[in-house]
C-alpha cells in the first residue's frame, strides 16, 4: 500500500522552497524568488502556508529602508520533509 503524501509538500513551489531551506541556514525572499523563478505573489502565499503549518519560520524586518523577509526551516519542517521523501520512496519500490 502506498503511503499518503503530505499535500502541503506535494506542491512544486512549496517543495522547492523546502528543498532550498534544507541546504542553507536561512534564505531571504529575493534568493528564494530567484531560485524558484516564482512570482512574488505566489511565493509569498506559499511561504505563508508553510509558516502556518510550522514547517518554516519567517522573520520580517528591514535592511536599511527596504523590507527583508528571511525564512528558516524548523525541526517540524525537517521531519515533514523526511517523511515526504520516505513516502515517495515507497512509490518507487513497486
What are 47-91's pLDDT values in tens digits? 999 999 999 999 999 888 888 999 999 999 999 999 999 999 888
Contact 20, 43 (CB under 8 A): no
pLDDT, residue 48, reads: 97
> What Rg do the C-alpha atoms of the chain give, in angstroms?
14
* Alpha-carbon dihedral sign for residues 79, 52, 8, 17: negative
User: Burial code of 51-62, b = ≥16 C-beta within 10 A, e = fewer?
Assistant: eebebbbeeeee
Amino acid at each position: 500500500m502506498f503511503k499518503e503524501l503530505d499535500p502541503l509538500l506535494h506542491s512544486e513551489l512549496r517543495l522547492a522552497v523546502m528543498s532550498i531551506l534544507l541546504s542553507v541556514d536561512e534564505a531571504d525572499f529575493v534568493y528564494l524568488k530567484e531560485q524558484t523563478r516564482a512570482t512574488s505573489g505566489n511565493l509569498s502565499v506559499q511561504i505563508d502556508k508553510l509558516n502556518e503549518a510550522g514547517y518554516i519560520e519567517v522573520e520580517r524586518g528591514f535592511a536599511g529602508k527596504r523590507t527583508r523577509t528571511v525564512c528558516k526551516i524548523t525541526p517540524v519542517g525537517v521531519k515533514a520533509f523526511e517523511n515526504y521523501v520516505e513516502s515517495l520512496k515507497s512509490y518507487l519500490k513497486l
